[in-house]
Amino acid sequence: MSSTSESGSTRRGTVLVSGGAGFIGTAIAPALADAFEHVVAVDNLHPQIHPSAARPADLDARVDLRVGDVTDPGTWDAVLAEVRPDVVVHLAAETGTGQSLAEASRHAMVNVVGTTQMLDALLRHEALPARVVLTSSRAVYGEGAWRRPDGSLFYPGQRTSAILEAGQWDFPGAEPVAMAADVVSPAPVSVYGATKLAQEHVLASWAQSVGVEPVTLRLQNVYGPGQSLINPYTGIMSLFCRLAKAGRSIPLYEDGEVRRDFVLIDDVARAVVAAALADAPGTAPIDIGSGEQQTIARAAELIAAHYGAPAPHVTGQFRQGDVRHAWADVSHARDAIGWTPELGLEAGVARLASWIDTQPGVSI
């Protein structure tokens, strides 16, 4: 189903967005509302993200928000009794790497069972969409692949407690390589990463059995305006900003040389919308990042400079489940969905910090 808007552009039918009131959901809402006749968001407004349990003020007014839990079949029955999605964007997930170690059941319930409940309900209500877009994570790669001096790749696996306690941060005699689905095989080292990989496998096997097109985006470290400032598990960039804003020195784990791919929400939102609308994205996972790699020290230095805070300091601390280095090769995204990143770290830090400076009651 499609219609023609006043501007003459053709609008598609209905898009259903799970987790549609969250960080990414609110960011993609305007573009989806421009592209589709009907945008339905399903979200449980979890207090870890939404302390007031109210509709987010920045959620596009054109979005039809249905409050419910993706793990509850009754939620899906109520929604799908009325909604026939042409495209599903599946964002709903528990995302804390460290938190997942202590709350494995919660992460498995939301990420895996929440997905299977949705898929079961789509079949039960004979409401199969043409496409399901899944936002997965770079966490599925774990430590990823590393290259020996002779050019061969190997998978070092998880850094154990003994390795980390000895301060052996890197793998001697080897260099990490960019994460790319056609080169690096998944090997998660966190409960969160394991649940996201299970989510990918469940969707792929289900979708290709019932004639639905699965599109999987493996996101790197997403940050930017609109992210939760009360959730301690949603990334280090907002934490760094809050520390520096308070005039404190930012602590750097390990030796500060951990490499990350910090990708701004603006670019991620464009990628998700592109995946929903692309003509032929294919079924191979698509890596989404900034197109550059940065150390956490560099990110902290930029943030400290913005606030005039003391220089960051190395603590030697570490966190179980964290990987040493992670960044994406985004070349496949250009071919699959016509997307390339546009904003680098300096511009992203400026946007994030400027937004945080407008938020009331920001504290650490």
Residues marked as catalytic: 192
Spacing of C-alpha 252 from chain mean position: 22
How many residues are given for the chain?
364
Reported as half-sphere exposure (CB side, CA atoms, 13 A), residue 309 has a value of 23
